[in-house]
Structure 1
Amino acid sequence: MTRLFTAPVLSLFALCAAAAQAQEISPQRLSDITRELASEPYAGRGPGGPGEQKTIDFIVGQFQALGLKPAGDGGGWTQDVPLWRYQTEPGGTFTLNVGGRSQSLETQRDLRIETQRPVERVAIRAAPLVFVGYGVTAAERGWDDFKGYDLKGKIALVLINDPDFEAASTDAVSGKFGGRAATFYARWVYKYEEAARRGALGMLIVHETAGAAYGWSTVVASNGESYDVVRKEPAKDKLLLQGWIQRDLAVQLFKDAGLDFEAEKARAKTAAFRPVELKGAAFSAEYKNRFTRLNSKNVIAAIPGAKRPDETILYAAHWDAYGIGPPDASGATVRPGAVDDAVGVAGVIETARAFKVGPPPERTILFAAWTAEERGLLGSEYYAQAHAARLPKMVANYTYDVLQTAGPAKDVVLVGAGQNELEPHLAAVAARHDRTITPDPRPERALFYRADHFSLAKRGVPTVLMMAMGGGAELVNGGRAAGEKWVEDYTARCYHLTCDRWSADQDYRGAAQDVALAFEAGRELANSARWPDWNPTSEFKPVRAKSAAQRR
């Protein structure tokens, strides 16, 4: 009897071994796909640029070859993403009036100004200025900087970061917003959105390098250009004027209005803070706002769930890079975006391939390549808006954005660690591969709020961001020091620049390791009935809780 079963059993083992090998994430395939997407004919993959259609065709072709199902508009492979490109035209006038004294301001030097409404001309005359602290409303943390103050017709002045960023350990606010670790409330996009919800005419954020995590040169790098998705009610969703003001200018403004900037900043770190009108101070602006509509595309595919197809797990990366720019020292103009984020797209394609060689998952697996991440997470934002009704049944999102190419690592540096229950699950998967999770060593940089997963996170979907820029991994060859050197070199020399190319000396084994962990973690969720949640301290837990009934 034993002999009769020997051959079939061995065949079964062989089949299982072959299937397991087929599901391995291939460093060579990651490299090959990255090389293709970062090559010259793709022209830096700028949204609406000369390389977009070629990029879309390539990704669609990869999904088709794998036998995925199209999950875009109308049963196709793509979702149209209508965008506005805005440009604050030079030659505008900006004026501060304080105590009867008028001061002319210059964009780029004193201010960074933009308007994300399709209006040709902005005219603001003598709008009152109101200091609203950090511009935060967080009921779950017992915090409200606005106290019901009416901001209609007014310009709000606000501090960057959140109220406990610089708090001493003895301050009552200490730890209420995560300390040095940034929360969503620290981000400028939140502050603009909150001011718009409260009817403000505009908002100026006081720039401080430590709180922003970048200098003034980064603030003004766009030179008045910005992008947004096409909205049904832009006047409701967007301020007429938004931007930044130099700290030294703000300090002088407060002084001229009879206030001490540091004293008011200290008051803003208390829950008792109330908005402060800068008496006798007004802001005027008049400038032209050029806007151009363009259409870009997300690419979306699926493996339908065999048992619970309405419950989804999403793997995503952004296909766009910075396109063609000014010549660098060598004369190169194409910014290829190999690491940011062609390798992420390669990771999504490899994840899809790994799922397809296994048995059909019980839950649906979605695969997306977003447009316009580099313009403000706009492709993922548009998707999240269009599919808001489906997000309560999205189990998890794994986003690949900047995977390291320095070789195998003993750990994964987890950006935004401490947010949700996907993290200990990922740690358990990593442990099975003799790897560990290292919490984000620089949480004050707020990288968790600066990638496409955030469009889903802020609507309650639990997310994991696989991003190598959070901190140097502990590489098998060279340890933590080598990992930090890779991050520093890439950030300083190649990030968003012509240097971000594919090269033969890049080692994609570390990227493959990280993609493999996300694949394995998602596969386990896909074949379970689990609903991971946000941690009690996360600002996204109350958002998710609102849709709890849909997951019962």
Structure 2
Amino acid sequence: MLFSGRPLSLLSATALLFTSPVHAQSADQATEISAGEITRTVRTMTLDQFEGRAPGTAGEDRTIGYLIGRFEALGLEPGGVDGSWTQPVPLLHTVLGKPDRLSISAKGETTALEAGKDIYVSTLQPRDRAVVEDADMIFVGYGVTAPEREWDDYKDVDLTSKVAVFLVNDPDFAAAADEAVAGIFGGRAMTYYGRWTYKFEEASRRGAVAALIIHETEAAGYGWSVVESPQGENYGIARSDGEMTSLALQGWISGGTAQKLFDDAGLDLAKLRVAARKNDFRPVPIGARFDAAYPVKQEVVQSQNVFGKITGKSRPDETIIYGAHWDAYGEGPPDDEGRIYRAGANDDALGIAGIMEIARKFKSMPQPDRTIVIAAWSAEERGLLGSEVYAQNPIYPVEKSVANLAIDVLQTAGKAKDVILVGKGQGTLEDDLARFAKLQGRVVTEENLPERGLFFRADHFSLAKRGVPVLLMMSLAGASDLVEGGRKAGQKWIDDYTGNCYHAACDAWSPDWNLDGALQDINVMFDIGNSLAYSDRWPEWKSGSEFKERRDASAATRQ
């Protein structure tokens, strides 16, 4: 099998070259999660030889070889397709060039737009040009169709060959307490309907030729600089023509540009925002036309998910999946220290190190009743693509997947008095989290920025959509109450990391890291999986979760 044109022998050589030794230990030592092993894994995965671990590169080849070598050294069995270690993840990679045309026309006046400043778009169509030919623009409110909430922004209006324009987040995000919509979509806590991925998918299902979200920093959870940071690059799952999105272009329109668009068309955007918070809202033709043509560089690159497993003794068809993503952002501009590789030490080499240690601990114990799967996902940073490919083509049936326990970014500032819960009210695994945190002398703290929708922005979500109960361990969801320095110190760690090093070259291992808090979190995740591995208990979704119905439909397979 080839990986981006490089032979498997290179992977084998890489495995031998970069495999960190798993040192022989006594039985007691082998049952401990080791900060030393975690450090060795992170430092290895962030070496320049891995080139920032971008999918479809030589750095990926070396990463895959390293992961296979480590899984073998841990004594895991191959857990991939047809007895291999891997699962193919074919990715469409596109990069837009400078636009030949980019404008909006309204009432006989044409306004040229500046790419990156007024509008940011990309494409997921495998074509050499992305063209929207003078198409009608239509405002569709929040772009939500949610029958279970008796909500439909589209009202069966035909979007074929039109440009859909949305508001960001959920219909109740900005609602006052006395508005009818208040709380229907979780209030300040974002639902999946608030995510840009959902809005683009829904517009495509309705035949739109393009889709633009009006940017607002508070509702989006990030500023315009984050929107434009991919610089016209996008990744998607490589699809056949029949499965391809209808959207030639998808992206964002800046708040100021959107305001001018509606003003020029004689529409009151402020009043439309309020109207869109009512369930009798109907799409509003803007009376403007969008015209754009971009050259596109596009290619299909072959990436890989990597799997190891410990086969269950009595119920091997029931699986507990531990997951983290191996990919990072590859090469970028030099930082102040001359580093060019955005190698993601915390995001998510630390997560990979955590699930490796969990695997090592399980291997030191009696064979579990259920199968333990250790999953290293590809292309999380490109839109949860590796886990989505798996969820569409599961190696282990989702109906009998007991749980997916995900690790993505852990705080490195020391022990904490609490553990951060992402996605309150979703499932019974949060009760397990509270139970095992209490045994550590810790309490659960809810995420303090639920409007950012972090529950929907990590790899576990691909499996949640298929009904698999999930739990995410992510320290970015709220400031930890640190033993030294309290919540103020926890917030400082988040501010320093997200403000300086998130998705940047300085997300690198540091001798200043204190992994005591990360060890607490990794141990909790082990304890939760361990409590399921030797039992016949099935975690469930809680009443009100949008994923409960999907899981309940397959209940008979778990009897």
Partners of 1:194 and 1:20 lie apart in 2 by 53
**Which of 267, 271, 281 is the matching residue for 1:263?**
271
Partners of 1:475 and 1:32 lie apart in 2 by 25
- Matched residue type, 2:386: G
Kept in 2: contact 1:162–1:183 (CA 8 A): yes
- Corresponding residue of 2:339: 332
Kept in 2: contact 1:402–1:468 (CA 8 A): yes
What displacement does 1:72 show? 1.1
Partners of 2:206 and 2:551 lie apart in 1 by 23
Partners of 1:342 and 1:211 lie apart in 2 by 30
Kept in 1: contact 2:320–2:371 (CA 8 A): yes
- Corresponding residue of 2:121: 113
- Corresponding residue of 1:276: 284
Matched, 1:356 2:363: yes
What displacement does 1:21 show? 5.1
**Which of 16, 19, 26 is the matching residue for 2:34?**
26
- Matched residue type, 1:351: I
Q: Which runs of 5+ in 2 are unaligned?
A: 1-25
Partners of 2:284 and 2:486 lie apart in 1 by 51
What displacement does 1:70 show? 0.4
- Matched residue type, 2:333: P
Partners of 2:478 and 2:35 lie apart in 1 by 21
Partners of 2:505 and 2:297 lie apart in 1 by 28
Query: Which deviates further from its counterpart, 383-392 or 405-414?
Result: 383-392
Kept in 2: contact 1:130–1:278 (CA 8 A): yes
**Structure with greater Cα Rg:** 1
Kept in 1: contact 2:89–2:305 (CA 8 A): yes
- Corresponding residue of 2:544: 537
- Corresponding residue of 1:59: 67
What displacement does 1:389 show? 7.7
Give the SS at the match of 1:32: helix
**Which of 371, 377, 382 is the matching residue for 1:375?**
382
Give the SS at the match of 1:426: helix
Q: 1:165-244 counterparts in 2 under 5 A?
A: 165-233=173-241, 236-244=244-252
Partners of 1:49 and 1:84 lie apart in 2 by 14
Kept in 1: contact 2:404–2:468 (CA 8 A): yes
**Which of 139, 144, 149 is the matching residue for 2:157?**
149
Partners of 2:462 and 2:439 lie apart in 1 by 31
Give the SS at the match of 1:425: helix
What displacement does 1:346 show? 0.4
Partners of 2:99 and 2:106 lie apart in 1 by 23
What displacement does 1:296 show? 1.4
- Matched residue type, 1:190: Y
| Distance 1:356-1:324 versus aligned 2 partners, 3 A rule | same
Partners of 2:182 and 2:310 lie apart in 1 by 46
Matched, 1:417 2:424: yes
Partners of 2:379 and 2:31 lie apart in 1 by 30
- Deviations 1:85-123 (CA, angstroms, capped at 9, x unpaired): 101111331221111211121211111111101011233
Partners of 2:306 and 2:398 lie apart in 1 by 18
Q: 1:381-396 counterparts in 2 under 5 A?
A: 381-387=388-394, 390-396=397-403
Partners of 1:396 and 1:153 lie apart in 2 by 41
Kept in 2: contact 1:117–1:235 (CA 8 A): no
- Corresponding residue of 2:3: none
Partners of 1:234 and 1:517 lie apart in 2 by 44
- Corresponding residue of 2:96: 88
Give the SS at the match of 1:169: coil
- Corresponding residue of 1:9: none
Matched, 1:547 2:520: no
Kept in 2: contact 1:28–1:508 (CA 8 A): no
Give the number of equivalent residue pairs. 534
Kept in 1: contact 2:358–2:526 (CA 8 A): yes
Kept in 2: contact 1:133–1:275 (CA 8 A): yes
Kept in 1: contact 2:317–2:396 (CA 8 A): no
What displacement does 1:67 show? 1.5
Query: Which deviates further from its counterpart, 115-124 or 230-239?
Result: 230-239
- Corresponding residue of 1:42: 50
- Corresponding residue of 2:170: 162
What displacement does 1:315 show? 0.3
- Corresponding residue of 1:8: none
| Distance 1:238-1:32 versus aligned 2 partners, 3 A rule | farther
- Deviations 1:145-171 (CA, angstroms, capped at 9, x unpaired): 111111111111110000010100000
Percent of aligned pairs with the same amino acid: 51
**Which of 444, 450, 456 is the matching residue for 2:451?**
444
Give the SS at the match of 1:465: strand
Partners of 1:533 and 1:271 lie apart in 2 by 31
- Deviations 1:429-453 (CA, angstroms, capped at 9, x unpaired): 1112211111111111111111111
- Corresponding residue of 2:531: 524
Partners of 1:545 and 1:130 lie apart in 2 by 37
- Corresponding residue of 1:247: 255
- Corresponding residue of 1:504: 511
Partners of 2:133 and 2:245 lie apart in 1 by 22
Partners of 2:427 and 2:168 lie apart in 1 by 25
Q: Which runs of 5+ in 1 are unaligned?
A: 1-17
**Which of 475, 483, 490 is the matching residue for 2:482?**
475
What displacement does 1:545 show? 2.7
- Corresponding residue of 1:400: 407
Kept in 1: contact 2:335–2:506 (CA 8 A): no
Partners of 2:231 and 2:300 lie apart in 1 by 19
Partners of 1:21 and 1:528 lie apart in 2 by 25
Give the SS at the match of 2:300: strand
Give the SS at the match of 1:397: strand
Kept in 1: contact 2:132–2:248 (CA 8 A): no
Kept in 1: contact 2:500–2:506 (CA 8 A): yes
Kept in 1: contact 2:131–2:248 (CA 8 A): no
**Which of 146, 149, 155 is the matching residue for 1:138?**
146
Partners of 1:524 and 1:260 lie apart in 2 by 56
TM-score, normalised relative to structure 1: 0.94
| Distance 1:235-1:201 versus aligned 2 partners, 3 A rule | farther
| Distance 1:453-1:233 versus aligned 2 partners, 3 A rule | farther
Partners of 1:524 and 1:235 lie apart in 2 by 40
TM-score, normalised relative to structure 2: 0.92
- Matched residue type, 1:342: A
Q: Which runs of 4+ in 1 moved over 6 A?
A: none
Kept in 1: contact 2:125–2:244 (CA 8 A): no
- Matched residue type, 1:344: G
- Corresponding residue of 2:292: 285
Partners of 2:268 and 2:259 lie apart in 1 by 8
Kept in 2: contact 1:302–1:364 (CA 8 A): yes
Partners of 1:180 and 1:358 lie apart in 2 by 43
Matched, 1:432 2:439: yes
Partners of 1:126 and 1:357 lie apart in 2 by 64
- Matched residue type, 2:72: Q
What displacement does 1:19 show? 5.3
CA-based RMSD: 1.6
What displacement does 1:76 show? 0.9
- Matched residue type, 1:180: R
Give the SS at the match of 1:83: strand
Kept in 2: contact 1:127–1:153 (CA 8 A): yes
Partners of 2:415 and 2:373 lie apart in 1 by 27
What displacement does 1:201 show? 1.6
**Which of 103, 109, 113 is the matching residue for 2:111?**
103
